[in-house]
Amino acid sequence: TLVAILGAYALALLGRGVHVVTVNPYLAQRDADTVRPVHEFLGLTVRVIQEDQTPEEKRDAYAADITYGTHSEFGFDFLRDNLVAEWSDKVQRGHFAAIVDEVDSVLIDEARTPLIISGMGQADEALLPVARRLALLLERQRTSDGPGDVFVDEKEKRCVLSEQGFQSVETYLHGWGVLHADAPAYQHQHLVLMGMLDAALKAVYLYERDVDYLVHNDEIVIVDAFTGRLQEGRRWSEGLHQAIEVKEGVPIQGESVTLSSITYQNYFRMYPHLAGMTGTAMTEAREFFEIYQLESVAIPTHRPVARHDHVDLVYATEQAKLQAVVADIQTEHAKGRPVLVGTTSVEQSEALSTLLKSAQLPHEVLNAKNHAREAGIIAQAGRRGAITIATNMAGRGTDILLGGNVAVL
């Protein structure tokens, strides 16, 4: 936060606007408030962009010398600017310089995540259950050229029908009377159904409840894969959201059509001046150079590193691993040490919580289901004997103070 002052000040003197990018709205506001007195003393203006601002407030924020905001808000403002009818309705004034906090998270981990603005489209919802039924009947291939109907590429998040798969689809559709006799499934008028089948296959094989999404008030709410936060009001495109609504048996909402889209990688490559900082840059140094032509510099610690890195322990089963984790937590808790446990999903955090309850160990769980209490949980995660289980939503720019945060106590 403090180091960003130096680069932001130097670039802001050129008068073309500097965007300081953070990973969540709390950090954008906190960092802007922290550095504002320095920049204002030096004669510069600092503003923050937030999701709930009016276009006039956004335009004012972008007109400042230094503008703080989240990576997604900068990206969505760019997309919205490309959909306006009048040039004067645009809020951004160009892309000159960006300084990205947690730069590996934004430019590498989320680089290919598409930002999408959607509008309402027309789709025949009567075909959705047909696509779901088909997806459950098709046989999964173990290898891309092996026997079966559909190959699931988990890395690329896509499902590919084999030649046998197309024949199986036609056989089922002819049998159910959805297709006329001898009509192939991939004729132009049936492409909508094939698109729905693709979404239904992804819903079956690639998207898990309590990992990729939650069911809340009879709605599917997306869980951000990188921050673990709930994305209220966001919907997957290309029929995927509806396929998951059919899968979970919740009311089906209208299909959305992509109006405008860009990835973080393509968005940030528009800035002629791009830089960033993070505690974990050197492991990604090669990618930074190959994708963005950015060089990475490691700043040595002020004092020698006191942390001990132990070798990894590997267990034969998930249950054995979790029991070992609980035993380790018990040992450290008995010494009064605060313990923070990182998990990869909501489901895993709750499984561990159940084991801790049966071991009668008091703890807090921080995941997308109780994100409203995040600040309170993190503020006290450093208290003596505290046990905190968190998904990856916690920790980006949040300080855990040993002994607990006195101001919040």
DSSP string, 307-356: ---PPP---SSHHHHHHHHHHHHHHHHHTT--EEEE-SSHHHHHHHHHHH
Q: Give 247-267 pLDDT, tens digit per residue.
A: 999 988 876 667 889 999 999
Which residues touch 291 (CB under 8 Å, ≥6 apart)?
A: 107, 108, 111, 265
Residue 393 pLDDT level (bands cut at 50, 70, 90): low
User: What is the DSSP annotation of 124-136?
Assistant: -GGGHHHHHHHHH
Give the Cα separation of 134 and 147 in Å (integer).
Answer: 18
Interhelix angle 191-205/240-248, nearest 10 degrees = 60
Residue type, 141: Q
Q: CB of 252 within 8 A of CB of 221?
A: no
**pLDDT at position 182:** 65
Q: Give 323-363 pLDDT, tens digit per residue.
A: 999 999 999 999 999 999 998 888 888 899 999 999 999 99
Residue 394 pLDDT level (bands cut at 50, 70, 90): low
Considering only CA atoms, which of 306, 308, 307, 324 is closest in space to residue 316?
324
Q: CB of 267 within 8 A of CB of 75?
A: yes
Q: Give 39-87 pLDDT, tens digit per residue.
A: 999 999 999 999 989 999 999 999 999 999 999 999 999 999 999 889 9
**pLDDT at position 89:** 93
User: What is the DSSP annotation of 47-63?
Assistant: EE--TT--HHHHHHHHH
Tell me: pLDDT of 105 over 80: yes
Give the Cα separation of 200 and 197 in Å (integer).
Answer: 5
Q: What is the mean pLDDT of residues 152-158?
A: 88
Which residues touch 46 (CB under 8 Å, ≥6 apart)?
A: 32, 35, 36, 39, 40, 64, 65, 66, 67, 68
**pLDDT at position 236:** 84
Tell me: pLDDT of 120 over 60: no
Give the Cα separation of 223 and 210 in Å (integer).
Answer: 8
**pLDDT at position 233:** 77
Q: CB of 104 within 8 A of CB of 278?
A: yes
Q: Give 200-250 pLDDT, tens digit per residue.
A: 999 999 999 988 899 988 899 998 776 677 887 788 877 899 999 999 999
